[in-house]
Amino acid sequence: GFSALELAQLRGNAAAFTLMKEAITVTPANFDLCNLDSLDVLKQKASAAKEASKLRAAMQLEVPDHLRKCYTLEKVWSVEECNFVLHALKDAVSKRESGWTTDRHVAYATTDVPCKDVPEVDAWVRESLSKRVFSKLASRHGWRYSKSESQSGLYFRDLFFVKYSVDGQAGLALHRDGSIVSFNILLNQAADFEGGGTYVEADDWAYQIEQGDCFVHSGKLRHGGQPITKGERFILVAFVDIDEK
């Protein structure tokens, strides 16, 4: 980074530069701070720092080769299990004073409810996903997995239920998740709605799944919720991160 003196010099703020320069007493400890580079050298350093920042940002958004392909894990939950979870979700929402929330995700808000706010199924959902999804993710991508949550290399960054409806939020704009990998499970029957699915920009395709299926993709891939045109669509969404320790 740059010192306050260097920033004043770079920004052409002569008054601030002069005031700070006069206020500093040069000592052996701060000699390097006061012995400034020329303006041209400072501009070169600033340009190099800007390019390095762009490179770091690009690397953070880069999708690893093993996560470039989206895929579906079929029948992670049975029809009966999906109905059990969906019934508990609707019951919990009916008892919540706020009902469905729309402000948990600031940039790309969804009509959702955190899984932890559906206590009837929260523990079961997490345990079943650990056994049935985390194990498959770990095997496919070479990540550490253990049935013990404290020992597993995978953990939920966020876990929540989403509702799409024609009368409310029909879809979701293109975005990236803050996770390493994300997945969603369809809770109701595909015949209950028209449209929908997960649109992936890189593939220019909206992936649709059946009840109980789990659609998996890199959180760094730009994707969105394809709008539904009829009915209601309920999904469970998971943002998953990796603990490399």
Give the CA count within 13 Å in the CB-facing half-sphere of 92: 20
The residue among 197, 205, 101 whose CA lies nearest residue 158 is: 101
Could you say which DSSP state residue 201 is in? T
Candidate ranges 55-59, 98-102, 212-216; pick with highest mean pLDDT: 212-216
The confidence band for 212, taking pLDDT boundaries of 50, 70 and 90, is very high
Tens of pLDDT, residue by residue over 68-93, are 999 999 999 999 999 999 999 999 99
Task: Read off the pLDDT of each residue in 38-52 and give the average, rounded to a whole number.
Answer: 66
Does residue 43 have a pLDDT over 60?
yes
Q: Which residue has the tokens 């392909």?
A: 69
**What SS3 state is found at 6?**
helix
Does residue 53 have a pLDDT over 60?
no
Q: What confidence score (pLDDT) does residue 31 get? A: 43
**What SS3 state is found at 215?**
strand
Residues 219 and 200: their CA atoms lie apart, in Å, by: 11
The confidence band for 52, taking pLDDT boundaries of 50, 70 and 90, is very low
Q: Give 132's contacts (C-beta < 8 A, 6+ positions apart).
A: 73, 76, 77
Rg (CA), the chain: 25
Residues 141 and 40: their CA atoms lie apart, in Å, by: 48
Q: What confidence score (pLDDT) does residue 67 get? A: 87
Tell me the backbone φ, ψ of residue 224, rounded to 5 degrees: -155, 170
Structure token digits, residue 172: 């979701």
